[in-house]
Structure 1
């Protein structure tokens, strides 16, 4: 099953995001084929990130939550909230 991790940054957290970015990217790379896509949400001015969207394959919601909690951004306290939603990849899914 696929899960979308919809993460919203705390206000004024740009420095924390930048300091932990490399560890976050390494963590995501370490997920291997379980990672289906990821990237930041941006402010309307397209300059500053405001959160992250991470799409992963997990056996269930608890496993997806464990991945979200292990993310260095989460461990550093970057996120104001993390929403975990089952996601069905219908269009342009390379596995179909």
Structure 2
């Protein structure tokens, strides 16, 4: 089952994000079998990220929530809000590189 996960970071935490970025990227790479797509969300290309987005392949919403709890961005307290949505892919072609 596919899920879209939208993270909103705590305001004013760019330094905290930067401190944990390498560990977060390594964590995402180690979980790329289930975290199919991951990236930051910004208001402008060069702005400090305000959150992130994942597309996750998991058996249940609870599995997504349990997985997220081991992400360094979650464990360091960066995340303010997390929304997990069931996602239905509309196009069957690969659209991401």
Q: Give the TM-score normalised by structure 2.
A: 0.88
- Equivalence for 1:53: 53
- Quick check: 1:5–1:82 contact (8 Å CA) kept in 2? yes
Give the equivalent residue in structure 2 for 1:63: 63
Q: Which has the higher strand share?
A: 1
2:9 is aligned to 9
| Cα distance between partner residues in 1 of 2:52 and 2:71 | 11
For residues 93 and 24 of structure 1, what CA distance do their matches in structure 2 show?
A: 29
Per the alignment, residue 31 of structure 1 pairs with 31
Higher helix content, 1 or 2: 1
- For structure 2, list consecutive stretches of 5 or more residues without a partner in the other structure: none
Q: Name structure 1 gaps, 5 residues minimum.
A: none
For the structure 1 residues 9 and 55, does the alpha-carbon distance in structure 2 shift closer, same or farther, using more than 3 Å as the test? same
SS of equivalent residue, structure 1 residue 62: helix
Q: Is the CA contact 1:5–1:68 (under 8 Å) kept in the aligned structure 2?
A: no
User: What is the CA distance between 1:36 and its match in structure 2?
Assistant: 1.3
Counterpart-to-counterpart distance in 1, 2:75 and 2:36: 22
Matched-pair contact (CA < 8 Å) for 1:6–1:83? yes
